[in-house]
């Protein structure tokens, strides 16, 4: 085999090892649980200075998650929180969550707390 072909073959084989994997079933379940926790709450979700109810927030985060899946940019629940649920992709402004009877907080903190609770309930 010619050296140039060997080089292309080696480069192709190396690129296979660097491809991202799709989220595991556990990660998909956790992400669905996080989105569902917001949707099933009485919390409000702030993005780019505007407040939205939980169903609107769920739809927005689901769209972001679907986009990240298509681009192969989310493999874990932590990546979902970091890349979809923490801040606006457009403005870079952090998302906020306000729930009845609780202080307003960064969405990243709210989702991280929910993820920890999900994992404690799952054997």
pLDDT in tens, 81-116: 999 999 999 999 999 999 999 999 999 999 999 999
Contacts of 80 (CB under 8 A, 6+ apart): 27, 31, 34, 65, 68, 74
pTM of the full predicted structure? 0.81
> Which of 12, 61, 53, 17 lies closest to 35 in space, CA to CA?
61
Q: Which neighbouring-strand residues pair with 47?
A: 50
Residue 53: CA atoms inside 13 Å, Cβ hemisphere, count?
A: 3
**8 Å CB contact between 56 and 46:** no
pLDDT in tens, 36-53: 999 989 999 999 999 999
């Amino acid at each position: 085999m010619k050296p140039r072909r060997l080089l292309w073959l080696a480069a192709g084989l190396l690129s296979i090892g660097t491809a991202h994997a799709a989220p595991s079933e556990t990660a998909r379940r956790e992400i669905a649980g996080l989105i569902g926790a917001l949707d099933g709450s009485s919390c409000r979700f702030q993005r780019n200075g505007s407040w939205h109810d939980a169903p609107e927030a769920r739809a927005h985060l689901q769209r972001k998650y679907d986009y990240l899946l298509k681009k192969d940019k989310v493999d874990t629940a932590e990546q979902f929180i970091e890349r979809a649920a923490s801040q606006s992709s457009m403005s870079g402004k952090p998302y906020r969550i306000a729930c009845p009877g609780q202080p307003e907080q960064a969405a990243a903190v709210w989702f991280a707390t929910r993820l920890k609770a999900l994992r404690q309930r799952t054997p």
